[in-house]
Amino acid sequence: MGIERINLNGSLALSRLVFGVWRLADWKMSKDDTQALIEKNIELGVTSFDHADIYGDYTCEELFGRALTQSSALRDKMEIITKCGIKLISKNRPDHKIKYYDTSRGHIISSAEHSLKNLGTDRIDLLLIHRPDPMTDPDEVAEAFRQLKADGKVLHFGVSNFSPIQYDTLNAYLDDPLITNQVEISALCLDQFKNGTIEHAQLHDICPMAWSPLGGGAVFTGEDEKAIRVRKVLEQWSEEKGKSMDQLLIAWLLMHPSKIIPILGTGKIDRVQKAMGALEIDLTRQEWFELWQASEGQEVP
């Protein structure tokens, strides 16, 4: 069984849906269960796994890596994405007194090397700068990327939560162009459609990745007016089309011509499988705007 793959730049393809590992520590899974979860995702065609050094208070990469090292064949069947650049206040990082960013050459390299060790692998397929850092020295980032690539430790680079000008500036300093910008996109968060980020991705011919593609769950339980309006549309569609609200929210993203890649946040394999049902939903353009209008609370201008 396979699902469509998205070719990011000629040499890296991701699965159409990506598995987000950020809550792995919360799921309290055994090593075997974690391995089984990974394997089942791969069987379903969800071969790309989205990490960050800081997920689970700096623990998720290692939990994942332990499962991975149990089966050496597993690594070659997947794409590993991870991130660096945020420093969290954490008992695991006692020298951090505040939350801050670090995109110095030294930190990028040591963070990536730390991720390699935690993940029990010799390469990261895609490393992202996690947040735009107001203290960025683009020359240092470029040097770090160059060295990590030369050493075979990281194969491709991207960013997360970058504005167009932030993206263009870093990109101009790099040997190889950035290949994605991972941002929050959902029917509940239309910001990227309105601040130029989606158009910018189309201008550079890159595919955006979407975090919180279900809007952080607000659509299911939120009592604010936006959540209520969006839920109402989804409930009606759900009844008419026999599809779940998750599936409809994912389908709404998949329909966009910029080839948005949603990152699933569930640890339950049956919810992953269900989400894949989104791949078979065809929404009309009018329906796409019906959800847009519900989110906006008014019709388009």
Nearer to its own copies, 103 or 118 (CB): 103
Residue ranges in 159-198 that form contacts with its own copies under rule CB under 8 A: 161, 163-166, 168-169, 172, 190, 193-194, 196, 198
Choosing from 55, 58, 101, 167, which is the catalytic residue? 55
- Give min distance, CB of 256 to its own copies, in A: 7
Residue with tokens 């007194």, as numbered in its chain: 97
> Contacts with its own copies: how many residues (CB under 8 A)?
48
Nearer to its own copies, 59 or 163 (CB): 163
| Structure-block tokens of residue 62 | 């290692």
275: left (phi over 0), alpha (psi -120 to 50) or beta: alpha
**173 catalytically annotated:** no
> Binding its own copies by CB under 8 A: which of 140, 176, 222, 274?
140
Residue ranges in 218-257 that form contacts with its own copies under rule CB under 8 A: 255-257
> Binding its own copies by CB under 8 A: which of 43, 102, 143, 176?
102
87 binds its own copies (CB under 8 A): yes
Residue ranges in 262-281 that form contacts with its own copies under rule CB under 8 A: none
In sequence order, the 6+-apart residues with CB closer than 8 A to the CB of 152 are 122, 123
Cα separation, 184 vs 279, in Å, equals 20
Nearer to its own copies, 119 or 144 (CB): 144
Residue type, 52: A
73 binds its own copies (CB under 8 A): no
Nearer to its own copies, 62 or 133 (CB): 133
- Give min distance, CB of 194 to its own copies, in A: 8
The backbone torsions φ and ψ at residue 159, rounded to the nearest 5 degrees and listed phi first, read -135, 175
> Binding its own copies by CB under 8 A: which of 40, 66, 96, 105?
96
What sign results for the dihedral spanned by CA atoms 158, 125, 68, 89?
A: negative
- Give min distance, CB of 17 to its own copies, in A: 20
Alpha-carbon distances, residue 53 vs 29, 116, 213 (angstroms): 19, 10, 21
Catalytic residues: 55
Residues of this chain that interact with its own copies (CB under 8 A) are: 86-87, 96-102, 104, 131, 134-140, 161, 163-166, 168-169, 172, 190, 193-194, 196, 198-200, 202-203, 255-257, 285-286, 288-290, 292-293, 299-301
